[in-house]
Amino acid sequence: MDLGRWRERMTISHHITSKKLLPKWVQAMGRAAKVALAGPFSKKGRLEIAALADYLGYNPDRPRPWLPQAEPSEICDAESEVSILKAVGDDTNVTARELAILCLVVRQIRPRRIFEFGTYDGRTTLNLAHHAPPDARIVTLDCSLDTHVGRCFRGHPYTARIEQRIGDSMAFEAGADAASIDFVFIDANHMAPYVRRDTESALALLRREGGTIVWHDYAEWPGVTSVVDAYAQREPRLRNTVWVSGTHLAVCRVAAA
Ligand SMILES: C[S@@+](CC[C@H](N)C(=O)[O-])C[C@H]1O[C@@H](n2cnc3c(N)ncnc32)[C@H](O)[C@@H]1O
């Protein structure tokens, strides 16, 4: 089990021990029994089995990162200053270096619309809002109904710029948002089928004249690494994708469609 996986597991177990365990145990056991007995016979069940095996450390084909590496200075003005709101994050957030780079990229490209897959506590959302132009709008999507989702921007003046949505990114349809987004940040479920789906959604969301996609947890989660590598090799619009040194960010300046 790698460090990232271990950190994520510890974060989850912290949430569990701080709440009542029995109802969670009953729900988890019921779900586990359903997945074990009926899982192989449905697509959703097979996805859950694959996700569970991956989560438990079954990764015989752990991919070696394929993307070329780039220094932060190649994708943003790395020497300049940024101010970070809610400066101290937790282990589920992006790191300080990653957040600084995300903010610098956003400040440089001045997106009018941003879409984020995976809100979590909203720390990244808040900081993207802080560095985007004042009239920029940010949509952030998370499947969790937990109250911690979006708590960093709840009540903050930037809330007016942020549209929080609840939903499974696997079921996401670009709809009215299609071809309207300048910057997409993908950091939701890290299993390959989800990353693939989120990447397809990102391509549908980006404006026809192009934009920027950033994936988190590249070279950390096998599902992210394998999917991003495959897209960079076969999807012409994503062939400029690079892995930013010292981070788990993969960044692509997507060319016009
Ligand atoms: C690693 S956290 C995101 C961290 C955040 N980007 C940050 O830097 O603070 C992943 C989030 O994605 C959400 N998530 C997981 N699977 C999802 C799915 N299928 N659709 C939407 N959100 C999902 C989780 O509930 C969690 O809040």
Q: Which of 48, 151, 187 to mutate to test the pocket of ligand 1 (most atoms within 8 A of CB)?
A: 187
Average pLDDT over residues 133-151: 97
**90 close to 11: Cβ distance less than 8 angstroms:** yes
In this structure, which residue's CA is closest to atom 8 in ligand 1? 93
CA atoms of 133 and 111, how far apart (whole Å): 7
pLDDT digits (tens, 9 = 90+) for 213-226: 999 999 999 999 99
Using a CB cutoff of 8 Å and minimum separation of 24, what contacts does 9-16 make? 10/91, 11/90, 11/91, 11/92
Of ligand 1's listed atoms, the one at least distance from the Cα of 189 is 16
In this structure, which residue's CA is closest to atom 23 in ligand 1? 188
Of ligand 1's listed atoms, the one at least distance from the Cα of 122 is 9
Q: Which of 189, 201, 247 to mutate to test the pocket of ligand 1 (most atoms within 8 A of CB)?
A: 189
Instruction: Flag the least confident range among 44-48, 53-57, 177-181.
Output: 53-57
If one counts every other C-beta atom within 10 angstroms of the C-beta of residue 121, the result is 21
Among residues 212, 158, 160, 145, the alpha carbon closest in space to that of 181 is found at: 212
pLDDT digits (tens, 9 = 90+) for 173-189: 999 999 999 999 999 99
| Helix residue spans in the chain (DSSP H) | 3-17, 21-38, 43-55, 72-75, 96-109, 123-131, 192-205, 222-234
Q: Tell me how far the alpha carbon of residue 115 lies from the centroid of ligand 1, in angstroms.
A: 13
**130 close to 83: Cβ distance less than 8 angstroms:** yes
Q: What is the pTM of this model?
A: 0.80
- Percent with pLDDT over 70 in the chain: 91
Q: What is the mean pLDDT of the chain?
A: 91
Q: What 3-state class would DSSP assign to 204?
A: helix
| Band of residue 1 on the pLDDT scale cut at 50, 70, 90 | very low
Residues with CB under 6 A from ligand 1: 92-94, 118-121, 123-124, 141-144, 149, 168-170, 187-189, 194
In this structure, which residue's CA is closest to atom 25 in ligand 1? 144
pLDDT digits (tens, 9 = 90+) for 185-195: 999 999 999 99
Of ligand 1's listed atoms, the one at least distance from the Cα of 8 is 1
Q: Which of 138, 169, 194 to mutate to test the pocket of ligand 1 (most atoms within 8 A of CB)?
A: 169
The CA angle 63-64-67, to the nearest 5 degrees, is 115
Q: Which amino acid is at 158?
A: Y
The end-to-end CA distance of the chain, in Å, is: 39
**247 close to 97: Cβ distance less than 8 angstroms:** yes
Using a CB cutoff of 8 Å and minimum separation of 24, what contacts does 196-200 make? 196/227, 197/169, 197/170, 197/172, 198/117, 198/169, 198/172, 199/227, 199/228, 199/231, 199/238
CA atoms of 179 and 185, how far apart (whole Å): 15
Q: Tell me how far the alpha carbon of residue 121 lies from the centroid of ligand 1, in angstroms.
A: 9
